[in-house]
Amino acid sequence: MITPYGRDNASLMLGIGGCLILLALTPIGTIGSIALITMGIASVAFTLWFFRDPERYLDDKARTDDSWITAPADGTVTEVVEINEIPFVGGRGVQISIFLSPLNLHVNRYPATGVILEAMYKPGKYLMAFNPKASEENEQSVFVVSTSAGSILFRQITGFLARRIVFVTKTGDSVRAGERFGMMKFGSRMDVVVPVGSEILVRPGNTVISASTIIARLKRSEPST
């Protein structure tokens, strides 16, 4: 199934692939026909792969406990680093960055269950997604979700190849971990920022699967006596 977040691009790319295959049927010679068929099939195959939208199953712990934070995207953890302040939330945080190659699934899912306190789009540069400055300078969307265990921030960040972010989230929305909310196109990055003191369950080099991989657990405040 092709994700609805990318049907515009997918339709164009499938059309181009189909046209190349049809052109190969015209009398242009064997070498030309083989070249066009190869490019056409490659275009169709890449489109179906990149814009695929398979199911991802939420980790059982995150179904019943909002303190468990899941990966919002498929990819590779490239950075786990402390930052001085979580934007829109305050306090020190730990930023977990996930790099998505063009071969990774690019449909994004909410990392936590709660209410969206902030949802905004920020235009910016197109630095390589693994560049540490990308978190601040690149085009991105930024979300803050308040859970029963605390607030976290997550953001979609475009990379050098990507030029479009798609999301349907609005301030005030009630969301559930593992639900789809958008995608980034053609290579990009996801950041999740949790408060310092949270248990971090991934490290650089780990491969994560959206919804299925737990990346952190928030530390619940002790009840006052």
Structure tokens at 165: 């972010």
Structure tokens at 197: 């003191």
Q: Which of 4-13, 22-31, 165-174 has the highest average model confidence (pLDDT)? A: 165-174
Burial of 180 (0-12, 13-18, 19+ CB in 10 A): middle
pTM, 2 dp: 0.85
Per-residue pLDDT band at 131 (split at 50, 70, 90): low
Residue 105 lies in a domain: yes
The residue count of the chain comes to 225
Q: Which domain holds residue 200?
A: 60-217
| pLDDT tens digit sequence for 144-160 | 999 999 999 999 988 66
Do the beta carbons of residue 203 and residue 77 sit within 8 Å? Answer: yes
In a domain, 131, yes or no: yes
Dist CA 221 CA 54 (whole Å): 36
C-alpha pair distances (Å), 131 with each of 140, 172, 191: 14, 32, 12
On whether residue 29 sits in a domain, the answer given is yes
Q: How many domains does the chain have?
A: 2
The whole-angstrom distance between residue 97's C-alpha and the CA centroid of its chain comes to 10
If pLDDT is split at 50, 70 and 90, which confidence band does 8 have?
Answer: confident
Active site residue 148: no
Mean pLDDT over 90-102 rounds to 93
Catalytic position from the list 43, 188, 198, 210: 188
Does the pLDDT at position 52 exceed 90? no
pLDDT over 70 (residue 187): no
80 and 35 share one domain: no
Cα–Cα nearest to 149, from 39, 69, 43, 59: 69
